Structure 1
Amino acid sequence: MIEIPSDLHRDVVPLAFLLGTWEGAGVHDFPGSEKCNFGQEIVFRHDGRPFLEFRSRTWVLDEQGEKVRALETEHAFWRVTSNQHGTSGEREIEVSSVRDDGTVEIWYGKLHDGKPQIDLATDAVARIEGAAPYSGGKRLYGLVKDELLWVGEKAAPEVPLRPYMSAQLKKVLNPAQLISDINDLPDDGIAFFR
């Protein structure tokens, strides 16, 4: 069940399925960089304005699944725009993001009608001199059986567009909501066990 917060700006209600903290693991593999398994935390939050704030942190995992070191951090803002250029039933998405390696990206894409799936592609990429070569990418996000799945494709001047990262994430339960749910049980939940 997708809950829509009462203070969520109406423009981003179609993105409500993304709200919350998501954690899981994935695979990273791109020529010229380390092939590894990684852990990830993604947070989608809102403050009442017409966008969602996105924060992603990833870290390299060892064979036992323990954190070894940071891999990549990204901060972005997701907006739903008008449907004037999309096909009927699809909403357009704009994302502006910055990554810790000095890369700034503008993404455009669509939210599919009737299913929680978002396709994005870069429209513009800028990077500082020390950032790894990168010329564009695509991403697909989808909610499947209450899990957030995503795959990223990347291109560089010497490497054609190809998948390079993907992950499977589960929503992290909010302890404050759990306490609220317990308080709603009769006799503070004790009656359930009698």
Structure 2
Amino acid sequence: MTAGTPIPGSGDEAIRLAEERAAATRARNLPQFTDMPIPGDTANLREGANLNDALLAVLPLVGVWRGEGEVVYPTIDGPFRFGQQITFAHDGRPFLIYEARSWLLNEAGEVIRPAARESGFWRPQPDDTIEVLLTHNTGVVEMYYGKPIKQTAWEFETDAVIRTATAKDVTSSHRLYGIVNNGDLAYVEERAMVGQPRQPHTSAHLMRVVG
């Protein structure tokens, strides 16, 4: 290996890879309405409102992430592949705006149809606790509590689950998010529902496309 060549897995190599990714994503942001009388949402730390100091513990998440995952459960015929886009944005206040949109894929990677959607807020607190409120298109509302487990990983557990009369019988969920070595976002979720004990349900690996 020649002098000055970054060693794979080293800090220098991670910085180089981050710069390569940023060259393609740093100029992108959410669509903006310039006539809004209040600050717009931004998923790019270089643009829009300054990041609130309360969000420093979740700063690495700010952006738009897109990739693929897998959904599995004893009550479905899967596992099934899905595509997903997750947005973490802010408007200068001490919370993140969260949205996830998914679509089912066939074995060839072609889109079959839209799938699950969820939206909500991540609310870091002074004691490092993070409150997460999520609403699902399926009629489920979840309240999570969690904390960073290191600078680039976050773990959450449901404290309460509310369901409409037509929603599935979801009773609890556990999620783990992390920025992996190459700078991508990965997560795993375990879920207890429809009479089954809590077990793996979804996982995904997403690449940054904005921010």
Pair 1:44-2:80 in alignment: no
Q: Which 5+ residue runs of structure 1 have no aligned equivalent?
A: 84-90, 175-194
- Mapped to 1, the partners of 2:165 and 2:75 lie a distance apart of 17
Contact map agreement 2:178 2:185 (CA 8 A) in 1: yes
Pair 1:122-2:142 in alignment: no
Alpha-carbon displacement from aligned partner over 1:145-181 (angstroms, at most 9, x marks no partner): 201010000002520010100000000145xxxxxxx
TM-score relative to the length of structure 1: 0.81
Q: Which 5+ residue runs of structure 2 have no aligned equivalent?
A: 1-14, 19-43
Q: Which has the higher contact order (CA 8 A, sep 6+)?
A: 2
Contact map agreement 1:46 1:52 (CA 8 A) in 2: yes
1:56 corresponds in structure 2 to 100
Deviation of 1:34 after TM superposition, in Å, equals 4.8
Deviation of 1:72 after TM superposition, in Å, equals 0.3
Contact map agreement 1:74 1:98 (CA 8 A) in 2: yes
Structure 1 moving runs of 4+ over 4 Å: 1-6
The structure richer in strand per residue is: 1
Percent of matched pairs sharing the same residue: 36
- Mapped to 2, the partners of 1:108 and 1:132 lie a distance apart of 22
TM-score relative to the length of structure 2: 0.74
Contact map agreement 1:23 1:169 (CA 8 A) in 2: yes
In the alignment, residue 150 of structure 1 is paired with which amino acid? Answer: Y
Pair 1:136-2:179 in alignment: no
**Please, which of 149, 172, 176 is the counterpart of residue 186 of structure 2?**
149
Contact map agreement 1:22 1:172 (CA 8 A) in 2: yes
Deviation of 1:33 after TM superposition, in Å, equals 3.2
Q: Aligned pairs, how many?
A: 166
In the alignment, residue 117 of structure 1 is paired with which amino acid? Answer: A
